[in-house]
Structure 1
């Protein structure tokens, strides 16, 4: 999926290029703006750039694929907008929304079919890559999240929900309990999603061992389960989990849990930062 840019300073264009690589739903490619071969979506830096001859001369039906990147929303309210400074999750969410509405909803022609097959193959490769621990772009103010689940589709689903939130995200993945215990020794996380049923150490035991680490004692841990029984909930509480989330993910339920957990994070994050400062 080609994303063009117009009027961007080189530093910001480079940042956009890095952000596009973080997408897990689609294979985005940043390309130079070419009036003779228009990209699928065009990012325009600053509302004033809309008045540039090469932009104002674009076909009327193409304007729904224009995205204004600026501090203030454009006067032309029908145009999609991405706030500046750029936040990875916000950029990906807006692009995905435009593609969903204006591109994916359009039936493919025969000439489009090979390209569609290529994109599908790229998605498979990206999903395969997610089976390894990886991170989004570092950001000091980003919410650092660890997703622990042996299912690649589940990791993908959670990543999609997290990237749709209005806050910056730095997401890491682990396939099992042992990997989660290892990665949490190396870095701090603000939030941990933990599947119950995993090969090797299950979620309950993993949670118990995580809570034994001093820097994770107050970290919200959300346990993931396809179905929860009263016994599971008791075992989860005894292991130290903060709350449960049922699989498959229901967006409304996910949003409620995240809002509740965000309050906890707001409370303990400054305390943890002060503790780290004293340690250092």
Structure 2
């Protein structure tokens, strides 16, 4: 089965994903991840394919060891008289990995999304050859957009440079929350790692430096307030910006967050514009503190 045999008719369209052979749990997980890609700022957005739709699926996720799943895919291809879509194979560890793109059971949301983006990027490369007229329209639209956006790009060169230089740590026991924040950070070109508990995060902080930490308050084990206090007591992380995440928004929660040493506060579910504003402000403030501390150390001969 070919890995790539179709082209996206338009780079900005919603990319349709058809799934064959996944469990109900994995299907729910896929649906949740795809719904989060509709957030503003992403290059690609995805949705589950519906057989009632006129449009055909662009990418297929298939368990090749499931005979019924393979038969269902072939029936879809025959019924709609379409080429085989780009296919991502998902199998168990230790099994043969057919095709160019593959994932392992159980699905890891961030790995799945990264692979879907890779496939979508490669599909875009064949766009000019397959749809020359559409490519010309897209090119003209991009030129028009560039004429409008260029002054803003020049104005924000410093901010863009700041964004590409940072790595974040997301500490949250909710997979959905971690994916949402990871997507927001990706749109800002900020890399991220994830931890499900505060204890796991502390181990990661011992091995790697982070420029900003997103910390959920309500977690199994130590809560966010306690973890934040530990982060602030450690010489290596005491000045790392910490953004508290909570579904609560009472003044008392904000006071507790401030007392524990957090730099800023975000209420879940995180709003796109609010998130970007808080991240940019927090990182800029962190840079100012780091520069001031470095100058003080130099003045003291440290």
Shorter chain as denominator, the TM-score bin is: 0.5 to 0.7
SS at match of 1:97: coil
Instruction: Report whether the alignment pairs 1:178 with 2:199.
Output: yes
TM-score, normalized by length of structure 1? 0.53
Other-structure match for 1:110: 76
Contact 2:211 2:283 in 1 (8 A): no
In structure 2, what is the Cα distance between the partners aligned to 1:232 and 1:94? 29
TM-score scaled by length of structure 2: 0.50
Q: Larger Rg: 1 or 2?
A: 2
Find the aligned partners of 2:230 and 2:105 in 1 and give their Cα distance: 35
Deviations 1:76-134 (A, max 9, x none): xxxxxxxxxxxxxxxxx999535659x99945493279959969x8796122879xxxx
Superposition pairs for residues 194-209 of structure 1, below 5 Å? 194-209=215-230
- Aligned-partner Cα distance in 2 for 1:276–1:173: 32
Q: Structure 1 pair 142/40, CA: closer, same or farther in 2 (3 Å)?
A: farther
Alignment check: 8 A CA contact 2:225 2:256 kept: yes
How do 1:64-213 and structure 2 match up within 5 A?
64-65=10-11, 97-98=43-44, 106-108=55-57, 110-111=76-77, 125-127=107-109, 142-165=165-188, 167=189, 169-213=190-234
Aligned length in residues: 187
The answer to whether 1:231 aligns with 2:197 is: no
The structural deviation recorded for 1:269 is 4.2
CA distance in 2 between counterparts of 1:180 and 1:201 reads 11
Contact 2:241–2:283 at 8 Å: present in 1 too? Answer: no
Unaligned runs of 5+ in 1: 3-30, 32-36, 42-61, 67-92, 131-140
Quote the Cα distance in structure 2 between the aligned partners of 1:39 and 1:155: 32
Residue 258 of structure 1: how far off its partner (Å): 1.4
- Taking the aligned partners of 2:41 and 2:247, their CA distance within structure 1 comes to 31
CA contact (8 A) 1:147 1:173 kept: yes
Aligned twin of 2:286: 265
SS of structure 2 residue aligned to 1:215: coil
Q: What is the rounded CA distance, in whole Å, between the counterparts of 2:254 and 2:265 in structure 1?
A: 8
Distance 1:192 1:98 in 2: 26
